Amino acid sequence: MSRGYFQHGGVTFPGLLYSPRGLEAARDFPVEDDDVFNVTYQKSGTVWMLEILSLIRSDGDPHWCRSVPNWDRGPWLETVLGLRRARGNPRPRLISSHLPVQLFPKSFFTSKAKVIYTVRNPKDVLVSLYHFSQIFRPYKDPGSLEQFLEKFLEGDVPFGSWFDHVRGWLELRGRENFFCISYEELQQDLRGSVERLCAFLGRDLSAGALDAVVANASFAAMSRNRMSNFSLSPLFILDLRRGPFLRKGISGDWKNHLTVEQSARFDRVYRERVAGLGVTFPWDPP
Ligand code: A3P
């Protein structure tokens, strides 16, 4: 099984599941005004947001989430199979993507389709991605955390640099069809976050439906749900014998993994790269 990577538009992609032709087709994907895109840098809470959006769409009824795998409910546009699925799904469509903004479908930028961009403390993204790289077969073995930290900071990982991804997407702030939320906000106040998402999506859910969204999108509920925990994923894609996809589901796990020196090294690069973005995050170093 090849674990080769290829470059497309200056960004690294794994050869398994992705192809240059597929990425070109994604760029030409005909976006509809009622499409809702769930966009993230990987390991920032993509499947969590997908579950929340699926449940909002179903008025809190978990039937859809419990009967259809998440990759079919909100297919990943950039994968060869996900693109096909996204094309075929009935409207209004939920579509997931880790694409950097410059590789996103061109037609989105003249449409009324909505993007929800979820951002997460990049130190937690690093740790989550480090573990994920050990179970996701299309990715190369990450080596030691020390080695992987350097690759992450350089952007020498699939989907490229976290810093570039966030910078690119946050340029859309202020557009009425763009909504940015953090993993940490979801953690701190899931119900309030769901209410804000409903307002953005123009959905009016009853108190009971909101409660049902919150209950069914919990880490425990998703870990139990075979349609959301990736236990249906074939072994050649995801090796769950080496660890679960829904690993810890907490904020700040980086403190259990990075040394004081590694954290300080991260902070130095972070300050340089996030400066000038005109945005403050709760995890910004002092
Ligand atoms: P950890 O590896 O830190 O546990 P993505 O879906 O973008 O790949 O992100 C995966 C991360 O989101 C994993 O983080 C996973 O555990 C976490 N996650 C998924 N569902 C969650 C939930 N309901 N609550 C909290 N975290 C969740």
**Comparing C-alpha atoms, which of 245, 207, 211, 210 is closest to residue 225?**
245
Mutate to test the pocket of ligand 1, among 70, 184, 219 (most ligand atoms within 8 A of CB): 219
| pLDDT tops 80 at residue 226 | yes
Confidence of residue 286 (pLDDT cuts 50, 70, 90): confident
Read out DSSP for 94-148?
EEEE---GGGS-GGGGGS--EEEEEE--HHHHHHHHHHHHHHBTTSPP---HHHH
Counting from 1 in the atom list of ligand 1, the atom nearest the Cα of 131 is 2
Predicted structure pTM score: 0.98
Does the ipTM exceed 0.95?
Answer: yes
CA distance 71 to 78: 12
CA distance 274 to 208: 40
Query: Over pLDDT 70: what percentage of the chain?
Result: 99
Residue type, position 63, single letter: H
Confidence at residue 215, expressed as pLDDT on a 0 to 100 scale = 98
Cβ neighbours, 10 Å, residue 88: 10
Q: Are strands 114-119 and 94-97 parallel, antiparallel or unpaired?
A: unpaired
- Residue range 174-201, pLDDT digits in tens: 999 999 999 999 999 999 999 999 999 9
Decide: 247 in ligand 1 pocket, CB within 6 A: yes
β-sheet bridge partners, residue 36: 94, 114
Name, in order, each residue with C-beta under 8 angstroms of 26's C-beta and a sequence gap of 6 or more: 77, 78, 83, 97, 99, 103, 105
Residues 101/252, Cβ–Cβ less than 8 Å = no
Confidence of residue 1 (pLDDT cuts 50, 70, 90): very low
Mutate to test the pocket of ligand 1, among 42, 47, 238 (most ligand atoms within 8 A of CB): 47
Confidence at residue 2, expressed as pLDDT on a 0 to 100 scale = 45
Torsion of CA 118, 122, 128, 130, to 10 degrees: 140
CA distance 52 to 38: 10
Decide: 128 in ligand 1 pocket, CB within 6 A: yes
Active-site entry in 63, 98, 131, 165: 98
**Comparing C-alpha atoms, which of 167, 191, 162 is closest to residue 180?**
167
Total residue length of the chain: 286
Decide: 238 in ligand 1 pocket, CB within 6 A: no
- More confident call, 2 vs 81: 81
Report, as an integer, the average pLDDT of 160-170. 97
